Amino acid sequence: MAKKPVNPEPTDKTTNSAAPEPAADPAASQTTEPKPVDLSAPAVQNAIARGKVLIAEGKSKADAARAIYAVIKDESKDVIVAAFVEGATLTPKGALTYWYNNKRRASKERKLD
């Protein structure tokens, strides 16, 4: 198989090096930092405390997340995810996964009743 010939002539991309670069994608510039959420509600504080107790007892993060979700299942997704981060020692991405799984489990249980 023959090698491709090297093109010694500059292409349009290399000749116009002073051209401004295209604007960065706005979605790519956003950080993945969670938004600040108010966790001061008594029910949320109680759920976080329950999660921390379970973690301290050596229970799994899933057990702590289930206990937290049972107490604050009617709160917004952002509040529940933030509570998982605080009470079940999850990362923000992991907390979102646990929120989704708990929501699905609760939905299935309601259908069975």
Check residue 4 and report its DSSP letter: P
Residue 1: HSE in the Cβ half-sphere, 13 Å Cα cutoff: 1
The C-alpha angle 23, 27, 32, rounded to 5 degrees, equals 130
Residue 36 confidence (pLDDT)? 82
The domain limits of the chain are: 38-112
> Strand, helix or coil at 36?
coil
| Cβ proximity of 68 and 47 under 8 Å | yes
> Strand, helix or coil at 62?
helix
Higher pLDDT pick, 32 / 79: 79
Q: To the nearest whole number, what is the mean pLDDT of the chain?
A: 84
Residue 12 pLDDT more than 80?
A: no
Point out the least confidently predicted range of 7-11, 25-29, 51-55, 58-62. Answer: 25-29
- For residue 82, what is the enclosing H or E element? helix 77-87
Q: What is the mean pLDDT of residues 95-103?
A: 97
Helices 92-112/77-87 angle, 10° precision: 120
Residue 18 pLDDT more than 80?
A: no
- Structure token pair of residue 104: 């699905």
Instruction: Give the pLDDT confidence of 37-73 residue by residue, as tens digits.
Output: 889 999 999 999 999 999 999 999 999 999 999 999 9
